[in-house]
Amino acid sequence: MFHFEATLLAHLFFGLSLLVILPLLRRRDLVLHLLLLLSLGILFYASSLATLFIGWEMMGWSSYFILASSARVATLQRYILFNLGGAFALLGAIALLYGFMGSLEYRDIDASLLPPWAMNAIALLLFVAVFVKSGIIGLHDWVVDSYSEATPLFSAILSAILSKAGIYLFIVMFMVLLKEGATEPLLFEIMAWLGVITSIVATFKAISQDEMRRLLAYSSIAQIGYIITILALMQGFALEAALYHTLIHTLIKLLLFMNIASIIAITQKERFSELGGMIYHAPVLFLLLVIGIIALAGMPLLGGFNSKFLIYTALLEEKRALLLGAVMFSSASAFLYCYKLVYGIYLGQRPQEASLHVSPKSYYLPQLLSAALLVLLALLPSLPVGYLSVIGVELGFAPLDDSNLFILQSAFGSFHGGALMGAFGVAFVALLGLLQLAHSKAKKVKDPLDISYCGEVPRSETNLHFGYGMGYELHRISFIAPLLRHHSRVLWDRLSLIASDFSALLSSLYSLSAQHVTLLALLLFTLLLLGGQ
């Protein structure tokens, strides 16, 4: 039934869906979650555009109903409006394709038969669908609100897997079905820059957030931005880099959102300004989060670096220096929100009045699983390359070298994951031993307020945890401040005002007096008569 050329690609995406959703299944909304899983199966394993669209729509609606249990009405409206917009664009593209091909089956589609204008129109419509789902800047409002208002577990599903649906759609449409189509290269160029601009703006927005899940939502948008940029190159190695980053981002976001779900369960708080100092109450969660942020920052020694390395080398291979500079700039800026995430929750001083609960044990499983995989991928960076390479070959690209699992190869160089981890491990143990053996004894401070404070003594009511506000100085930097100030919601609000004015005008036609209606009917009749002549 499902035999089209990218079956392994479908396996990869559906496998990731299972990895994310299965550990998070709960009695609450169980049916809807299973429906969501089913819709993802239909979407990924579709062999005709009709099935693909049904999967796409089912995914949207089932997640809408899950979201409805916790989100505000305005958020739900935003969610459904944006997603319907995306779905209509997809439907438009499918309709156009059907018009030219006369079939909705994947195997019947031959994009080389499409005239350029139709191909470009289809590409534009598909871009809208992909961009809405990926939260490209300007179309991202629904992402941030729904991530922060969903139940903590559903936030993890939204970010870890549902955000990848757009990526899948792009790959299937542009790299499988419409590969031979004469799409204007400028469109992909615009897409590449939109991706990187999204990741830069979203990174700055993430830094200035006070709510944990809003920070992570913007971070997701930024990471998907990289994938969009790299996919726009339409090359085999870029596809593999994008898929590798998809895999890594799924693991990272599952880990981070579940970590935050645990913290919300323990403290009942969601804001950095109300948290802090949790490290000694929840050391395991702290370590898990540290693994998550080091991977998110793309540091070596954890899997996050592997996909960043592939993305960078793919851009180098294409000699896209400025695009790469922008991606690296966004990536370096992300260190700030990564640190804010760990500092705001676990470090600094603990608030006074806090009462703590216990986090459900089951929340640890997905975190431990993700962390273990991220460590394994750091040690064996080429582990998924064989699989990704086969996908690339299926889609008609050259295979990658995965002869040594410890070494990640690229056209611009390689690195040895085992050597990196080994060297760091030996240095760490040796230096720790040196510190332990030192004559000097470490004396632990008993009172957390016993700190160097410019010769003064802080009191318990002194606010020492104001570091949660890091990132506010970005508002004073001339080229960043406008990015933080201008909110795309203003644009959408204006659009909605224009729409409501227009609909008021239309509705006034229905509430006219009898004389006016008669006059209007006469006018229409005259026009018809004139037209008839």
Contacts of 11 (CB under 8 A, 6+ apart): none
C-alpha 163/C-alpha 157 separation (Å) is 9
Considering only 110, 325, 499, 521, the residue that binds other proteins (CB under 8 A) is: 325
Cβ distance to other proteins smaller for residue 466 or 525: 466
CA end-to-end span of the chain, whole Å?
Answer: 57
Query: Does position 403 bind other proteins by CB under 8 A?
Result: no
DSSP 8-state assignment for residue 462:
S
Stretch in the footprint of other proteins (CB under 8 A) among 15-23, 87-95, 477-485, 490-498: 477-485
Residue type, 397: F
C-alpha 332/C-alpha 29 separation (Å) is 39
Considering only 478, 511, 513, 533, the residue that binds other proteins (CB under 8 A) is: 478
Question: Residue 415 in 3-state DSSP?
Answer: strand
Cβ distance to other proteins smaller for residue 117 or 280: 280
Shortest Å distance, C-beta 17 to other proteins: 30
Shortest Å distance, C-beta 279 to other proteins: 6
Query: Does position 467 bind other proteins by CB under 8 A?
Result: yes
Query: Does position 47 bind other proteins by CB under 8 A?
Result: no
Cβ distance to other proteins smaller for residue 16 or 279: 279
Angle, helices 73-101 vs 116-134, to 10°: value is 160
C-alpha 134/C-alpha 71 separation (Å) is 20
Considering only 9, 296, 301, 385, the residue that binds other proteins (CB under 8 A) is: 301
Cβ distance to other proteins smaller for residue 62 or 306: 306
Cβ distance to other proteins smaller for residue 111 or 201: 201
DSSP 8-state assignment for residue 271:
B
Query: Does position 284 bind other proteins by CB under 8 A?
Result: no
Stretch in the footprint of other proteins (CB under 8 A) among 25-33, 64-72, 168-176, 273-281: 273-281
Shortest Å distance, C-beta 375 to other proteins: 15
Considering only 352, 403, 452, 533, the residue that binds other proteins (CB under 8 A) is: 452
Instruction: Report 337-356 residues binding other proteins (CB under 8 A).
Output: 338-339, 342-343, 346-349
Shortest Å distance, C-beta 110 to other proteins: 38
Query: Does position 414 bind other proteins by CB under 8 A?
Result: yes
DSSP collapsed to 3 states, 73-104: HHHHHHHHHHHHHHHHHHHHHHHHHHHHHCCC
Query: Does position 405 bind other proteins by CB under 8 A?
Result: no
CA-based Rg of the chain, rounded to a whole angstrom? 26
H or E segment to which residue 407 belongs: strand 407-410
CB-based burial, 214-244: b 16+ in 10 Å, e otherwise: bbbbbbbbbbbbbbbbbbbbbbbbbbbbbbb
Cβ distance to other proteins smaller for residue 165 or 323: 323
Q: Partners of 416 in the beta sheet?
A: 407
Considering only 96, 299, 354, 390, the residue that binds other proteins (CB under 8 A) is: 299
CA 264 to chain centre: 21
DSSP collapsed to 3 states, 160-195: HCHHHHHHHHHHHHHHHHCCCCCCCHHHHHHHHHHH
C-alpha 346/C-alpha 273 separation (Å) is 12
Shortest Å distance, C-beta 463 to other proteins: 8
Q: Where would I find the H helices in 141-282?
A: 141-149, 152-160, 165-170, 185-207, 212-231, 236-267
Stretch in the footprint of other proteins (CB under 8 A) among 74-82, 208-216, 225-233, 308-316: 308-316
Query: Does position 265 bind other proteins by CB under 8 A?
Result: no
C-alpha 532/C-alpha 450 separation (Å) is 93
Query: Does position 453 bind other proteins by CB under 8 A?
Result: yes
Contacts of 343 (CB under 8 A, 6+ apart): 467, 468, 470
Query: Does position 445 bind other proteins by CB under 8 A?
Result: yes
Query: Does position 423 bind other proteins by CB under 8 A?
Result: yes
Residues shown for the chain = 533
Query: Does position 73 bind other proteins by CB under 8 A?
Result: no
Shortest Å distance, C-beta 202 to other proteins: 14
Considering only 64, 329, 364, 387, the residue that binds other proteins (CB under 8 A) is: 329
Considering only 312, 367, 397, 400, the residue that binds other proteins (CB under 8 A) is: 312
